[in-house]
Amino acid sequence: MPNTSNRPNILFILTDQQRQDSMACYGNDWIETPNLNTIADQSFIFDNAYVTQPVCTPSRASIMTGLYPHAVGLHRNNIPLPSDCPTIAERISEDYYSAYFGKWHLGNDMIQQHGFDKWISVEDFHRVRATRREYRNVEAHYNDHLRKHGIEPPGINRSYENWFATANLTEEQTQAYFLGDSAADFIRSHPDSEQGDQPFMLYVSFFEPHPPYTGPLNDLYDPEEISVGPAFLKRPDEGPLLNRLRADYYMAGNLNPLGIDDYHDLTAADGWRRLRAQYFANVTLVDRQIGKMLDALNATGQLDNTIIVFTSEHGEMAGDHGMLEKRSMYEEASRVPLLIRVPGTEPKRIEGSVSLVDLVPTLLDLSETPEDEQSASTQLLGDGFAPTPSAVDPNRWSIQGKSLAPVLNGDADLSNNDVFVQWNGMGDRNLGTPEINRMASMHWRTVITPDRWKLNLCPADQCELYDLNNDPHELNNLYDDPQQRDRIRDMAARIRIWQSATNDEVDLPRV
């Protein structure tokens, strides 16, 4: 049955740890991403989109709820999303048939939850963190895919991240390939399914290009020919102690400690280039799977009635400032690609800065979900209970993001839009040395102002101020420049006002 609703379908594609400069529309003139290029050609391209916190679980919490990490209580990795905190699937019009495929990383990854009608899981390892004993016996759907390809899954005691480094998987055996096939099958079958008269909202959440820095396309790019910028392998001498410690650790040849078997010789620049080339190859791996979804939308005639959103939960340092992975306010880790394709609109670039916390209210607007239908009290929540009116405080989970629909419609712009990023300290794991772990336990608050200045404040480390207009690679920390004192005071006031509005109670240094 065809979709008889006037509401558009929504396809939300989320990657893990993808830098903004990994796409042609953001200046990368050598990477092979034809399918992302196709989406970009038809989309609003946001010049400067920022995550709320540059690490997995907190960022995902904002993407799925429209709340900042401190407000939803997910200040680090591996904390389950509260069962009464509504996701977009619980807020969007009940006309929608909602599906979630891939990495969840918000607790109970194997279990269908939080308003989604269909669930495809990929990460068996997260069963060890299940909140209920019976959840620990549920396998990931991806396991069947591996067995069909002659591979025994790594099991509950080893993460895909660690296992993938030495599993030598073919392209067809990866999580990315499995999700591409699963999503394309869903799109192709939806018009003829029992839910075919409903619009669908499908979230496809890829693990790649998250480390390990290896994969089936390792030889795709010549390490000597890929581009690097002025921050590549440049120690952040004027930056915080945390970043200096991390740069020293990585530039001494060490890797992210979680990647136990992901060995790379990082004692010289050629090793770093090789790692970087393999990282970008995994972006191409994902792009090929996105092509399957576009083909399915075209084949079923649904493309002209489908909103497509593409973004990533955070970026990757990939050797810039001498660092790897995320957990940094630097642009490489905190700024990500953001494309929004809205059928019937003219594609264009959107200047200014936005936050991924704005995506939930934006999609609620684009789906024409009335405000009175967005209340958590009218939906089935978390573990499937229907709350009484007193069971949910309607103000507790009030959306904190702002809809970007007026910007897309041309009725507003971002000329007055501040963006805020946070780090909430107390890392979720060992980051390499006791010294790094101590400094990573401190909290940070960041503001990016409309005139493209960035202030990073921490009560126990070197604060930072960057002029992103003239110093886009953040090489010149102006925080201690006496001529910038009034600017810093103004920017700190913006942070304080935002803290008050979002009930953020962390202490920051006096400026």
The pair of three-digit structure tokens given for residue 314, joined into one six-digit string = 């955070």
**How buried is 323 (Cβ within 10 angstroms: 0-12 exposed, 13-18 middle, 19+ buried)?**
buried
The answer to whether the beta carbons of residues 54 and 314 sit under 8 Å apart is yes
Burial call 394-425: b when 16+ CB within 10 Å, e when fewer: eeebebbbbbbbebbeeeeebeebbbbbbbbb
- pLDDT of 349 reads 97
Q: Is the dihedral of CA 140, 146, 150, 151 positive or negative?
A: negative
- Which amino acid, residue 49? A
H helix or E strand, kind and range, residue 251 = helix 241-251
What are the pLDDT tens digits along the chain (511 aa)?
Answer: 567 778 999 999 999 999 999 999 999 999 999 999 999 999 999 999 999 999 999 999 999 999 999 999 999 988 999 999 999 999 999 999 999 999 999 999 999 999 999 999 998 877 777 888 888 888 999 999 999 999 999 888 788 888 999 999 999 999 999 999 999 999 999 999 999 999 999 999 999 999 999 999 999 999 999 999 999 999 999 999 999 999 999 999 988 766 668 889 999 999 999 999 999 999 999 999 999 999 999 999 999 999 999 999 999 999 999 999 999 999 999 999 999 999 999 999 999 999 999 999 999 999 998 877 776 533 333 333 333 333 445 678 999 999 999 999 999 999 999 999 999 988 778 899 999 999 999 999 999 999 999 999 999 999 999 999 999 999 999 999 999 999 999 999 999 999 999 999 999 999 9
Please give the CATH architecture assigned to the domain spanning 9-409.
Answer: 3-Layer(aba) Sandwich (3.40)
The alpha-helical segments, DSSP class H, found in 379-422 are: 405-408
**How much is the pTM?**
0.95
Amino acid at 417: N
Range list of H helices, 370-449:
405-408, 434-440
Nearest to 337 by CA among 98, 92, 31, 101: 31
Q: How many CB atoms lie within 10 A of CB 373?
A: 16
How would you classify the pairing of strands 200-205 and 97-102? parallel
Tokens of 464: 């930072």
Map out the domains of the chain as residue ranges.
9-409
Residue 141 has which token pair? 């759907």
Q: Positive or negative, the Cα torsion across 140, 144, 149, 155?
A: positive
Q: Are β-strands 9-15 and 464-467 bridged in parallel, bridged antiparallel, or unpaired? A: unpaired
DSSP alpha helix (H) spans, 42-141: 56-65, 69-72, 88-91
For residue 87, give Cα distances in angstroms to 136, 153, 162.
23, 30, 29
Place of tokens 């300290």: 425
CA 353 to chain CA centroid, Å, is 16
Measured CA to CA, the distance from residue 107 to residue 128 in angstroms comes to: 10
Q: Which two tokens stand for residue 374?
A: 């967005």
Enter the DSSP assignment of 224. T
The token pair at 10 is 């929504």
Other residues' Cβ atoms within 10 Å of the Cβ of residue 346: 8
- Residue 375 has a pLDDT of 65
